[in-house]
Amino acid sequence: MRVGMGYDVHKLVENRKLILGGVEIPNPLGLLGHSDADVLIHAIMDSLLGAAALGDIGKHFPDTSHKYKGISSLVLLKEVRNLLAEEGYKIVNIDATIIAQKPKMAPHISSMIKKISNTLEIDENRLNIKATTEEGLGFTGNGEGISSQSICLITKK
């Protein structure tokens, strides 16, 4: 059994869609990034890659490559799933947290779980997603950005 931890953060800006967990969330601001800037999926990918000692998303999907410009993070997550399978790993569970002052995430979490678990080809009960605010403190509390953390457990098949 192997444990991995992931973290990601992106700045909120105008003229971008807010995509979290593969779900478009109505919001006047979206996350700035080379891909769709989905901090939740990025944190999950980094936790999975870390658990398998396969580096991080920057190694596999560099932001200097035009190939990944604007790409859906669900596409990248599928590639991570394939890398894990090639190495003989299966996902035991994932626990992730979105850190954002707003918008409210609760109405969207079940859709996020469905999209991510389908992409990873795991049962929904192997994935937990929760959200919290920082009570108005720091860059997330001030509404300047959104971050996410993930921890996972994988095992050899």
Residues comprising the binding site?
Answer: 8-10, 34-35, 42, 56-58, 100-106, 132-135, 139
Tell me if 29 sits within 8 A of 10, measured CB to CB.
no
Annotated binding site for a divalent metal cation: 8, 10, 42
- If we measure between CA atoms, which residue out of 34, 1, 41, 3 comes closest to residue 19? 41
Q: The tokens 């626990």 sit on which residue?
A: 95
Residues 22, 74: Cα–Cα separation, whole Å: 6
Helix residue ranges per DSSP H, the chain: 39-51, 57-60, 73-86, 109-120, 138-141
**Alpha carbon distances (Å) from 89 to 53, 116, 146:** 11, 17, 30
**The token pair that represents 5 in the structure block:** 């931890």
